[in-house]
């Protein structure tokens, strides 16, 4: 439905007025069935008393009924004008649990990519949902092939609007998978986090008082493959936090040290209690990371991060032990023995100017409730809105074997000769553009790239560059990654 800005303003302005005129309703229905709206003649505002005139009453009757007659999808498109509204299809399914209603308003799949719009509303009368609400939706897709990490496909979500009057939050969600997403799938949310807020706590000790500390081998490190930006070979010796002042919240400073000119910050937090539904009930603060500000006032980018799951003695499973444990023992360890999350972040630092740095601890404050919001989503056929290339093209040490252009962005995949280290370097600093008859258009400067868990010389990668608005796929002639042009069919 195409609705111009005048009509949208009219509906928003008079959405609270109730006027009932039988003959006008009939005419509106007739026009709605032909996907047109009666557009009233603009009238001058001559004072509030003039609103009682017959002309304005007729005008309001048409506008108000048209707004009420719109379905969930049309009303959402009219009021919020979502970025990808022109490429999604109505879904309009919902689920209520724990006093929270989740509506899937619209969705569409494009090969291995999908987009969805949904809303979350508190109908319990407790007004628990605010602009800080957070969710983690994922797709449950039946697959015949073996999937290394299960069949769940998680989506990156972006809040787009919060309606205070109805305590309703609206989200745009994008999914990417390594294979095609079917036109029918289940979308699942296992918990709603009502009041998620970022916390920043100043580190209570001067960095100039920090010295060297002991390290231990990182149990998650792969011996025959070094990870340059995560999963370091060595980590600081974990502690229960007795060496540093107490930080409010569910977590503590485990260890901080300067090693080889780098600042290591290790934080430990209790694991999140999961429910039988796969969600979580939590209330309180969680300290989860660190942020460093340099002498110039800018954030210092970490050069390494490690994430571990550890037991009561702060010990984690080694990679070797995991590879040799039966599956039921791994599940048992994750269910009962794993108690804490350990995060260690490494920052480059000028050891001659420690007092000019500022270290802050990052955490989240939230209240959440577990539930079961599961809905089946069906979308239309969109193969005609996809352009692709299967010609192998070298980009640095990487071989891009396939490219997919959809209205949502550009997907690419392939393998890397030499392993993940070379793969990370191959894509660092490379932008993704599309070539059209009108010129080149930048899609994303630093596209997201994920790598397989293969530990051999040839690692598989999958990447996605998100568009900010729908791409007119018919105009695209090529994809440019860095300075390499890849023609599409």
Cβ-contact 489, 406 below 8 angstroms: no
Residue 56 to residue 63: CA distance in whole angstroms: 10
pLDDT given at position 420: 62
User: What backbone phi and psi angles, to 5 degrees, belong to 461?
Assistant: -130, 155
Taking alpha carbons only, the member of 137, 136, 145, 132 closest to residue 107 is 137
pLDDT for 32: 36
Instruction: Find all residues with CB under 8 Å of 449, minimum gap 6, and list them.
Output: 423, 424, 427, 461, 462, 463
Task: Quickly count: other Cβ atoms within 10 Å of residue 165's Cβ.
Answer: 6
Q: How many CA atoms lie within 13 A of 470 on its CB side?
A: 18
The predicted pLDDT at position 108 comes to 95
Q: For the CA atoms of the chain, what is the radius of gyration? A: 27
Q: Which of 176, 15, 423 is nearest to 7 (CA)?
A: 15
Cα 2 to Cα 27, 32, 72: the distances in Å are 19, 12, 15
- Measured over the CA atoms of residue 82, residue 83, residue 89 and residue 92, the dihedral's sign is negative
Q: Give the residue among 266, 265, 263 at the shortest CA–CA distance from 348.
A: 263
Looking at residue 310, its pLDDT comes to 92
Domain boundaries, given as residue ranges, for the chain: 5-70, 79-195, 199-366, 386-487
Q: Tell me, what's the pLDDT at 89?
A: 93
What pLDDT, on the 0 to 100 scale, is given for residue 191? 86
- As a CATH number, domain 79-195 is 2.60.40.1630
From CA 177, how far away is CA 320, in angstroms rounded? Answer: 29
Cα(341)–Cα(355) distance, integer angstroms: 30
- Residue 58: alpha-carbon gap to chain centroid: 46
Query: What's the full length of the chain, in residues?
Result: 489
Contact criterion met (CB below 8 Å) for 422 and 227: no
Q: Answer yes or no: pTM beyond 0.85.
A: no
What's the CA gap between 20 and 281, in Å, rounded?
Answer: 46
The crossing angle, in degrees rounded to 10, of helices 54-69 and 5-13 is: 100
Question: CA 49, CA 415: separation in Å to the nearest integer?
Answer: 72
pLDDT of residue 120: 95
Q: Which helix (H) or strand (E) holds 56?
A: helix 54-69
Could you give phi then psi for residue 81, rounded to 5 degrees? 45, 60
Mean pLDDT by 10 residues, the chain (489 residues): 38 37 37 32 30 32 38 89 94 94 95 93 90 86 53 71 91 87 89 80 84 86 63 88 72 89 89 56 68 90 87 88 83 87 91 90 78 91 89 85 94 78 67 92 84 59 89 94 91
Q: Going edge to edge, which strands form the sheet with 262-270?
A: 252-259, 262-270, 340-348, 304-310
């Amino acid at each position: 439905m195409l609705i111009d800005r005048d009509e949208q303003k009219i509906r928003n302005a008079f959405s609270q007025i109730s006027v009932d005129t039988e003959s006008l309703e009939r005419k509106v229905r007739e026009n709605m069935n032909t996907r047109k709206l009666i557009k009233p003649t603009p009238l001058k505002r001559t004072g509030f008393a003039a609103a009682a005139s017959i002309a304005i009453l007729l005008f309001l009757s048409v506008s108000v009924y048209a707004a009420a007659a719109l379905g969930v999808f049309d009303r959402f498109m009219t009021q919020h004008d979502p970025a990808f509204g022109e490429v999604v299809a109505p879904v309009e399914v919902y689920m209520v649990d724990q006093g929270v209603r989740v509506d899937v308003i619209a969705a569409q799949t494009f090969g291995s990519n999908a987009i969805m719009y949904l809303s979350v509303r508190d109908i319990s009368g407790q007004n628990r949902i605010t602009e800080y609400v957070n969710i983690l939706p994922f797709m449950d897709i039946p697959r015949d092939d073996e999937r290394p990490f299960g069949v769940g496909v998680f989506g990156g979500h972006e809040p787009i609007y919060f309606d205070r009057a109805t305590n309703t939050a609206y989200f745009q969600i994008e999914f990417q998978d390594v294979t095609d997403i079917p036109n029918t799938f289940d979308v699942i949310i296992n918990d709603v986090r009502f009041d998620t807020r970022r916390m920043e706590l100043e580190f209570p000790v001067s960095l100039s008082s920090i010295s060297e500390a002991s390290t231990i081998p990182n149990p998650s490190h792969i011996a025959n493959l070094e990870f340059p930006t995560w999963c370091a070979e060595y980590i600081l010796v974990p502690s229960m936090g007795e060496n540093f002042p107490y930080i409010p919240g569910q977590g503590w400073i485990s260890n901080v040290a300067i090693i080889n000119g780098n600042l290591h910050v290790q934080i430990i937090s209790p694991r999140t209690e999961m429910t039988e539904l796969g969600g979580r009930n939590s209330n309180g603060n969680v300290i989860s990371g660190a942020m460093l500000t340099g002498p110039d006032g800018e954030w210092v980018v970490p050069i390494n991060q490690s994430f571990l799951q550890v037991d009561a003695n702060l010990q984690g499973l080694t990679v070797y032990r995991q590879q040799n444990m039966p599956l039921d023992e791994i599940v048992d360890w994750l269910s009962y023995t794993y108690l804490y999350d350990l995060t260690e972040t490494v920052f480059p630092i000028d050891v001659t100017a420690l007092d000019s740095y500022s270290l802050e601890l990052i955490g989240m404050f939230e209240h959440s409730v577990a539930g079961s919001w599961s809905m089946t989503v069906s979308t239309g056929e969109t193969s005609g809105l996809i352009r692709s290339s299967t010609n192998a093209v070298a980009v640095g040490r990487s071989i891009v074997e396939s490219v997919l252009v959809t209205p949502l962005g550009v997907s690419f995949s392939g393998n890397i000769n030499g392993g993940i280290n070379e793969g990370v370097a191959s894509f660092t600093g490379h932008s993704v553009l599309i070539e059209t008859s009108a010129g080149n258009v930048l899609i994303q400067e630093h596209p997201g790239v994920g790598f397989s868990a293969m530990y051999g010389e040839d690692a598989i990668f999958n990447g996605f560059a998100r568009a900010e608005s729908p791409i007119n796929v018919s105009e695209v002639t090529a994809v440019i990654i860095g300075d390499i042009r890849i023609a599409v069919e």
